[in-house]
Structure 1
Amino acid sequence: MYFGQVLTAMVTPFNANGEVDYEATAALVQHLIANGSDGLVVGGTTGESPTLTTEEKLQVFKFVKDTVGEQIPVIAGTGSNNTHASIQLTQQAEEIGVDGVMLVTPYYNKPSQEGLFQHFKTIAQSTSLPVMLYNIPGRSVINMSPETIIALSKIDNIVSVKDAGGNLDDTAAIIQGTPVDFTLYSGDDSMTLPVLSVGGTGVISVASHIIGNEMQAMVQHFKHGEVQQAAAMHRKLLPIMKALFEAPSPTPVKAALNITGIPVGGVRLPLVPLNETEMNTLRQVIPVRQTRAIS
């Protein structure tokens, strides 16, 4: 299922007391819509989902969907390592009216490939919403195999995967083995162009908070056959992409947004703010001119 080509994995703005800042959230949503985002993924890793309560997640889902309306799709992160809890959250998100859900590979309990298949199948069968799988072995420890993803793609409402596996051979195998309308999105900004080159649809991006229009332009160049221009843009944007992951995400991207005049507050423990050296490094690649370009 096509959700767009540049989707933003949205941060969750907090106020000075560490509470969700809904005024800042509304401003951030409008900024993202105006600057290249075809869709929003809410309550994922970049949204600090491990530190959000269930009630906070539902409130954020509803607020973002109400703010966006029908302008672009809103995909709610409802996955966890607890199948039953994920079913409940998914069903509540469906009642709110989101456009789809994203389900992360279960972390910590390390299920087998059969366990992964049954986990995702069971959640998908509990909802009528489109389901996007999310494979991220760097955080979940286990890798969902291409064979498991291909098998899951045969379930009617499992329609997409966010691929942060970092293995282009696996990426190509998934694209080759899934239905033509099953979409694959890069889960790493720096892998966007390589993933497109083997048939991927687009990217679920962190960097698009800051360089959304540029990410769109890069994808458009590639899809129009302007490969050299796309590659040149990729090389130009790479230092920014890299800088946004020099510390645990989403700490750098939140700092970058604050630098560029889009206040989103800080991060919740166990994440900590950037130190002075990290801030100086970030400022070198997120210059003041960037504010004018994206605001």
Structure 2
Amino acid sequence: MTAVPTRQPPFGRLVTAMVTPFTGDGSVDCDLAGRLAVHLVDHGSDAIVVCGTTGESPTLSWDEQHRLLSAVKQAVGPRAAVLAGTGSNCTAEAVEATREAAELGADGALVVVPYYNKPPQEGLLAHFRAIAEAAPSLPLMIYNIPGRTGCQLDVDTMAELRSCPSIISYKAATGRVAEVSELRARCGTDLAIYSGDDSLTLPAMAAGAAGVVSVASHVAGSEIRSMIEAHLAGEPDRAESIHRQLWPLFRTLFATTNPIPVKAALELDGWPVGAPRLPLLPADAAMRTTLSTVLAALRQT
């Protein structure tokens, strides 16, 4: 079949939303974070997100987030883009965090829809415009995940935000592939849409997504990269075959709250990233057994 005609998206195809490693006493382990980031790039990641949902941003201080950003940026150098999670339900806080990320050398920022306070669409429009104006040279990825925030960014609002030159990408995490089609229809082809769900990467790309902001790439980056490349090369059967091989991992990594399972998977793979901070808990014995079985099966394919 003919290869899929594409343009190079701003943050590549495979973006890993990286976990935050903690030491035994619960402190942030910046050294391990840098080494893990290099490993992820070595296994197919074009970009790394630090201090996003998977990075447990709600339990990190801003000082910890700044140190993580600097450590990961230094570790990967020019090999990959590094995005900072700078979202907040306080606009002033998100503005300051985004400005600070730009000053620290971030290549972009992932900015989540404000959570808990449920602003109307006019408030979301003003919120994201204020962030874009605060650091106009920093590329932004808007992150829509109503299952966590309790607030939905409407497609029409996103279309209005396209007037901000720095708002160039969007992480679609509603669990609906139709979201990609709706965004394409209203926002055109210039907006780089990334699937926010590993299991929907392939169908989302078929609908026009540029790639994925992935969790599973912590332990299956090369395989996900191969699936994406097969799709782009016009080899749907090979892409679908890899998707099927990855499906048990995708399902298991989201059997409970992220990043509980992926941190356990990394530990099983020899990365001592530590337990999540409370109120999240470590994976239980049953989850670890299931992950071990799934990872072993994947390694044999």
Q: Same fold (TM over 0.5)?
A: yes
Aligned twin of 2:5: none
- Map 1:65-84 to 2 at 5 A: 65-84=73-92
Aligned amino acid, residue 54 of structure 2 = T
- What is the CA–CA distance in structure 2 between the aligned matches of 1:75 and 1:22, rounded to whole Å? 16
Aligned to 1:155, the other structure's residue is in SS state: coil
Q: How does 1:209-288 map to 2 (within 5 A)?
A: 209-287=218-296
8 Å contact from structure 2 (residues 197, 212) kept in 1: yes
Match of 2:30 among 13, 22, 25: 22
Structure 1 length as normaliser, TM-score? Answer: 0.96
Q: What root-mean-square deviation, in Å, do the aligned CA atoms of Structure 1 and Structure 2 show?
A: 1.4
Q: Report the Cα offset of residue 23 of structure 1.
A: 2.3
Q: Which residue of 2 aligns with 1:181?
A: 190
SS at match of 2:79: coil
Q: Separation in 2 of the partners of 1:55 and 1:146?
A: 34
- Aligned residue in 2 for 1:121: 129
In 2, the alpha carbon distance for the partners of 1:24 and 1:67 equals 10
Hey, what's the Cα distance between the residues in 1 that align with 2:273 and 2:101? 24
Gaps of 5+ in 2: 1-8
8 Å Cα contact 2:177/2:200 also seen in 1: no
Aligned to 1:11: 19
Q: Distance in 2 between matches of 1:26 and 1:75?
A: 14
Instruction: Specify the SS of the correspondent of 2:141.
Output: strand
Secondary structure of the equivalent of 1:102? strand
1:197 CA displacement: 0.7
CA contact (8 A) 2:69 2:84 kept: yes
Cα–Cα, structure 1 residues 5 and 289, in superposed 2: closer, same or farther, change >3 Å?
closer
Q: Report the Cα distance in structure 2 between the residues aligned to 1:78 and 1:195, rounded to whole angstroms.
A: 25
SS of structure 2 residue aligned to 1:237: helix
Contact 1:153 1:179 survives alignment (8 Å): no
Cα deviation for residue 169 of structure 1 reads: 2.3
Work out whether 1:55 is the aligned partner of 2:41: no
2:96 counterpart of 1:88? yes
Match of 1:172 among 175, 181, 187: 181
Question: What is the aligned counterpart of 2:216 among 201, 207, 222?
Answer: 207
Gapped regions of structure 1 (runs ≥ 5) = none
Q: Distance in 1 between matches of 2:112 and 2:298?
A: 36
Once superposed, which parts of structure 1, at least 4 consecutive aligned residues long, lie more than 3 Å away?
Answer: none
Paired residues of 1:257 and 1:264 also in contact (CA < 8 A): yes
Q: Following TM superposition, by how much is the alpha carbon of 1:214 offset from its aligned partner in structure 2, in angstroms?
A: 0.5
> Does 1:42 find its partner at 2:50?
yes
Where 2:163 maps in the other structure, the secondary structure is coil
1:223 Cα deviation after fit: 0.8
TM-score by length of 2: 0.94
Three-state SS of the structure 2 residue aligned to 1:98 is coil
1:193 is aligned with what amino acid?
L
CA contact (8 A) 2:54 2:215 kept: yes
CA contact (8 A) 1:2 1:181 kept: no
Q: CA deviation at 1:217?
A: 0.5
Following the alignment from structure 2 to structure 1, what is the Cα–Cα distance between the partners of residues 93 and 188? 29
Alpha-carbon separation, structure 2, partners of 1:195 and 1:289: 23
The answer to whether the Cα contact below 8 Å between 2:246 and 2:298 also exists between their aligned partners in 1 is: no
Aligned-partner Cα distance in 2 for 1:10–1:44:
8
1:191 and 1:148 mapped to 2: Cα distance?
23
Verify the 8 A CA contact 1:13 1:24 in the aligned structure 2: yes
Whether the 8 Å contact between 1:260 and 1:288 is mirrored in structure 2 is no
Alignment length (residue pairs): 292
1 CA distance for matches of 2:44 and 2:272?
A: 19
Q: Which deviations, in whole Å up to 9, do the C-alpha atoms of 1:174-230 show, x marking residues without a partner?
A: 022224332000000001011001111000000000000100100111111101111
Q: CA–CA distance in 2 between the matches of 1:100 and 1:23? A: 22
Work out the CA distance in 2 between the residues paired with 1:139 and 1:120.
Answer: 18
Question: Offset at 1:289?
Answer: 7.6
Deviation at 1:168, TM superposition (A): 2.3
The residue type paired with residue 87 of structure 2 is G
